[in-house]
Amino acid sequence: MEIKSVGFIGGGRITQILIEGMKRSEGLSVPFVVSDTNQSALDALKSRFPDITLHLNDNAAPAMCDLVFLALHPPAIGGVLPNIASFLKPQGIFVSLAPKFTIAKLTQGLNGYSRITRIIPNAPSLIGYGFNPIAFSETLSDSDRQSLISLLAPLGEFPETPENLLEAYAIVTAMGPTYFWFQWSQLKALAMEFGLSEREANVGIYKMLGGALETMFSSGLTEAQMLDLIPLKPIGEEEPAIRGILKSKLTALYEKLKI
C-alpha cells in the first residue's frame, strides 16, 4: 500500500523523536496528524513542527490516517483501543510503539483489526541512528512491510525480531541510553573541570567509548581479561552495588512488562 498520511495517537517524546527523524528525509511530503490529551505536548510539537495537524482530546483524526502510530504508555492503551477501532482504514497499518501489549491483545482491543506492527524504537532515531526492532502480524503482506520500512528508513535500522523478544529490547535498547547518558555527561563535566576544553572533552569521551565498545565486542577477550586490562579502577569498589542495581531494577521492570 502507498502511505499518504501518518497519524500519531499520543504526541509526547517518542512522537517528537520519530517526526524529527522522518523529516530528515528530503522529499518526504506526507502530512502528520497528532492527537494528545495534554495541551503542552501539542504546543511543544507545534513550535517544533508548525506544519503538522494537531488535535486535543480527539484520537479519531490520526486513527483515520494510512499509517497510525500508537504512542501511549501501556496503562493508557486499553481504554483507547475500542474508541479508535472503527476509524482505522481497512488497508491501513497500525503500529504500536509500546511494550507489554502484544499483537494478539491489540487485535482483541481493536475488535479484530489485525493489520498491526509492533516496534520498540530508541531515541537515537532522532538523528537517524535508531535501532528499532520490529515484529509484524501475519496479516501484513511483503509489500505492506516494504512500504512501512522504506518510510521509516531515515530513522535508522529496523531488524525484524520474534515478537516475544520486544520487551527485552525495550529494557536493553530503548531504555539503555538512560543507564549511561548521565554518566557520560558527568564525565564530560569533570573533564572540563580538569582543564579540557569542551571540544577536547567531547572528542576524548567519544573516542574512548568507541574504542571501549570495539574492545568489548571485537577483541576476543573474555570479560575477566577485558576488565583486567586497567588495574586502577577508581570506582571499582562500587561495581557490585552498581551491578546489583541494574539486576534488581531491570529484572523487576522486565517481569512487569511480561505479565
Interface residues with ligand NAP (CB under 6 A)?
9-15, 35-38, 41, 59, 71-74, 76, 80, 97-99, 120-123, 174
226: exposed, middle or buried (Cβ count in 10 Å: 0-12, 13-18, 19+):
middle
Which residue's entry shows cell 546489583?
244
Pairing of strands 93-96, 67-70: parallel
Residue nearest to ligand NAP (CB): 12
Nearer to ligand NAP (CB atom), residue 99 or residue 109: 99
What cell does 168 get? 527485552
Nearer to ligand NAP (CB atom), residue 14 or residue 110: 14
Which residue's entry shows cell 503542552?
40
State the minimum distance, in angstroms, from the CB of residue 132 to ligand NAP. 8
State the minimum distance, in angstroms, from the CB of residue 208 to ligand NAP. 25
Nearer to ligand NAP (CB atom), residue 71 or residue 201: 71
Nearer to ligand NAP (CB atom), residue 17 or residue 201: 17
Q: In 3D, which of 34, 25, 122 has the Cα closest to residue 70?
A: 34
Nearer to ligand NAP (CB atom), residue 100 or residue 196: 100
Q: In 3D, which of 54, 95, 94, 98 has the Cα closest to residue 74?
A: 98
254: exposed, middle or buried (Cβ count in 10 Å: 0-12, 13-18, 19+):
middle
Nearer to ligand NAP (CB atom), residue 98 or residue 116: 98
State the minimum distance, in angstroms, from the CB of residue 134 to ligand NAP. 12
* CA within 13 Å, CB half, 135: 19
State the minimum distance, in angstroms, from the CB of residue 241 to ligand NAP. 27
State the minimum distance, in angstroms, from the CB of residue 80 to ligand NAP. 5
Q: In 3D, which of 97, 120, 117, 127 has the Cα closest to residue 174?
A: 120
State the minimum distance, in angstroms, from the CB of residue 139 to ligand NAP. 22
